[in-house]
Amino acid sequence: MPLKYPGLAVSAPPLLGGPDLREFHLPRVMLTEDKLKKRNFSAKVSPAQVCTPKASQIQTTVLPNKLVVTSIDSSYPISRVSILFRAGSRNEIPQNIGASHMVRVTAGLTNKNSSYFGVTRNLQQIGASLTTTADREVVSYTLEGLPNTFDIGLKYLADVSTKQVFKPWEVLDLLPRLKYELAGIPPQVRVLDLLNKAAYRTGLGNTLFCPKRLVGKHNSETLQHYVNSLFTTNRSAVAGVGVDHGELVAFAQTLDLESGAGPSTSGQYYGGEIRKEKYSDLAHVAVAAEGASLANEKDALAFAILRYILGAGPSIKWGGSPSPLYKSVSEAVGSLPFAVSALNVSYSDSGLFGFLASAPPQIAGQVVEAAVKQLCCLSLTPADIARGKAQLKASVLLGTEGGTNLLEDIGNQAVLLGKVTSPSQVVAAIDGVTSADISAGIDINHKYDRKVRRTKPKSQDVYLRLLVKRSLVAKRLTRLPHKTLDEIEYELYSLNKLYGVNPQSSYIDQAAPAKSDEKDVMWLAQQTLQSLISVCALRATEKARARILKAGGEIITFDQLAIRAPTGKKTVLMQGRRNAREAVKHFGLAPGVPHSHTKPYVRSKGRKFERARGRRRSCGYKK
């Protein structure tokens, strides 16, 4: 199934060279003395007994202030709680670009209840850790600690996430850390940032990082306003793993948050291309088109399966990949080094799907060309779909083994969608995806899934409708692969209707020289000029008809033309120039510029119009 997306966005990967690698732990086997005797050092291995935590059912509660609380009370030895806000970089405006990055950097500073030293010291005393992450949609504060002292850490989690004060001297002290982070951003992350900028321009296209030109420009008032407007109950969620749901709901009710929905932004996809020149031994490229959003579960799963079908990178470190995308690029560049993997990013209201590539600059063009060709000529087999489903299910289930990934998953679902789907439900939904869903998911906007095919024009022109009938009858009778005369007549008529063009008399004179055989000219537009020739036209002005008849010519209808020349022999098809529209007269150099013949858009020729011509380039020209 070809990938039906016309727009391209050039940029780059999150972890390009690196495949999606996970740590594999060998199961612990409990061997007792009785088992050893019974085994008698046999070559047959007994079944392994693996100690894994059993996760409970996900519980979700929506408080009266619209704050979503979700949790899994499992047997994990570490308790984890996250407070999440829809306050990512997509909510920034030109006046506060980079504010989300500054909010993340300043997490843990002095707040209304605790000092910077007090937060750090007390969390260290109970062996807990507090981390802050920010992406394009979500800013989250996560606390991890032992269950027996976890209630102490929750107090400082609430203070850090809801009671910020942003003291000016503390913010200034963090500028060296901010500069260090900006200097260490990998090129793959940079090019992914450019990819979103090319695709969305604003909103989701906002950068994740504070621009270098704005370092030190965010004062306390800017950050406080950003937090107060976006850290509200309608835009927040509390997620927990390894905690009691009732206790988590009671903790969420004590959070000091204002109510309200806050500002909203749309994730409209535009498409485009952005290039950034850098001196490097490798070129990093990402090509993507609009994908599926998280709100559309079926299409989101279809694109996720398609990513694994194309190839999400090698499964073995430093190894190759048998994926179709990798094979296609490998055949194009041979043994030269490169890395390529499919890309699928889903946001709450949009998404991106494409591929990521890294290669030396000399072969980067070949790598991109081969990868794009593979995407456009993609064909899905039942074996490919089964492989993609299996790899996606393995990725989902492996993510639940660690409480950190599970907490991030349920937290993002709660804050972005307002509901949470368990991993088992996701696996069941993956099994329910069919090949038709995957093929339809590629054309996410259904631009090419047209249910209505137009068989005749809407015009009520009698001759035009007869022309369409003749065209259909001729095609059925002849069964010829080439176009019939009637089809060509209809196409020329459509073009003339589209462009509003009319042939000139010089065209007719050239088409019918005096010494040649008699010819019939089919003129599929309004007749305005004369010529000594038979002209077939839908309509003719009275003056044109009189001039043609006076010169000895004639105007015939399409019925008469069909009788005289049913096969189109000795017939010339004509149409006028397509640049005869009024709009074309305004194209070109600015009016008044030397050698310009462009018609100006001036509304009048009075003394108060175009008073700045000759003084500013924006108003004509400047000498």
Q: Residue type at 142?
A: T
Tell which residue, 382, 354, 377, 373, has the closest CA to residue 438.
382
Contact 289, 8 (CB under 8 A): yes
- Strand 129-134, strand 139-145: pairing: antiparallel
558 pLDDT higher than 60: yes
Place of tokens 């093929």: 439
451 pLDDT higher than 80: no
Which of helix, strand or coil describes residue 439? helix
Confidence band of 552 (pLDDT split at 50, 70, 90): confident
Confidence band of 104 (pLDDT split at 50, 70, 90): very high
- Strand 351-359, strand 283-290: pairing: antiparallel
Mean pLDDT of all residues in 585-614: 75
Statement: 482-574 belongs to CATH 3.100.10.10 = yes
pLDDT computed for residue 44 by the predictor: 45
Contact 482, 460 (CB under 8 A): no
Contact 473, 34 (CB under 8 A): no
pLDDT computed for residue 471 by the predictor: 57
Would you give the DSSP letter of residue 591?
A: T
Tell which residue, 195, 192, 190, 199, has the closest CA to residue 290.
199
d(CA 319, CA 258): 51
| Comparison of pLDDT for 600 and 451, the residue scoring more | 600
Tell which residue, 386, 384, 381, 393, has the closest CA to residue 429.
393
CATH code of 9-23+50-431, in short, is: 3.30.830.10
Residues near 569 by beta carbon (within 8 Å), at least 6 away in sequence = none
| Comparison of pLDDT for 612 and 559, the residue scoring more | 559
92 pLDDT higher than 90: yes
Domain ranges of the chain: 9-23+50-431, 482-574
- Strand 554-556, strand 534-540: pairing: parallel
The whole-angstrom distance between residue 106's C-alpha and the CA centroid of its chain comes to: 31
pLDDT computed for residue 98 by the predictor: 93
Residues near 328 by beta carbon (within 8 Å), at least 6 away in sequence = 370, 371, 373, 374
42 pLDDT higher than 80: no
Contact 485, 571 (CB under 8 A): yes
pLDDT computed for residue 381 by the predictor: 86
d(CA 486, CA 489): 5
pLDDT computed for residue 564 by the predictor: 81
Q: b/e map of 27-63 (b: 16 or more CB within 10 Å)? A: eeeeeeeeeeeeeeeeeeeeeeeeeeeebeebbbeee
β-bridge partners, 346? 351
* DSSP H helices in 74-146: 99-105, 116-125
209 pLDDT higher than 90: yes
Handedness of CA 324, 387, 199, 105 (dihedral sign): negative
555 pLDDT higher than 50: yes
Tokens of 83: 């407070």
Residues near 296 by beta carbon (within 8 Å), at least 6 away in sequence = none
What confidence tens digit (pLDDT) does each residue in 354-364 have? Answer: 999 999 999 99
What confidence tens digit (pLDDT) does each residue in 3-41 have? Answer: 333 333 333 333 333 333 333 232 333 333 343 333 444
Place of tokens 């900028």: 197
Place of tokens 């599926």: 292
379 pLDDT higher than 60: yes
Least confident range from 457-461, 506-510, 613-617: namely 506-510
pLDDT computed for residue 518 by the predictor: 42
Least confident range from 171-180, 362-371, 440-449: namely 440-449
- Strand 9-11, strand 272-273: pairing: parallel
Backbone conformation region of residue 560, classed left if phi is above 0, alpha if psi is from -120 to 50, else beta: alpha
Mean pLDDT of the residues in the chain: 78
d(CA 368, CA 596): 41
What confidence tens digit (pLDDT) does each residue in 135-161 have? Answer: 999 999 999 999 999 999 999 999 999
d(CA 227, CA 235): 12
| Comparison of pLDDT for 375 and 47, the residue scoring more | 375
What confidence tens digit (pLDDT) does each residue in 476-494 have? Answer: 433 344 555 555 555 545 4
Residues constituting the chain: 623
| Comparison of pLDDT for 50 and 564, the residue scoring more | 564
Tell which residue, 573, 596, 467, has the closest CA to residue 524.
573
Confidence band of 576 (pLDDT split at 50, 70, 90): low
d(CA 343, CA 292): 12
d(CA 548, CA 554): 6
Confidence band of 549 (pLDDT split at 50, 70, 90): confident
| Comparison of pLDDT for 493 and 379, the residue scoring more | 379
What confidence tens digit (pLDDT) does each residue in 216-269 have? Answer: 999 999 999 999 999 999 999 999 999 999 999 999 999 989 988 878 888 889
pLDDT computed for residue 528 by the predictor: 40
In the chain, the largest separation of any two C-alpha atoms, in whole Å, equals 120
Residues near 604 by beta carbon (within 8 Å), at least 6 away in sequence = none
Q: Residue type at 382?
A: P
Confidence band of 43 (pLDDT split at 50, 70, 90): very low
CB burial of residue 64 (10 Å; 0-12, 13-18, 19+): exposed
Contact 245, 71 (CB under 8 A): yes
Q: What are phi and psi of 139, to 5 degrees?
A: -115, 125
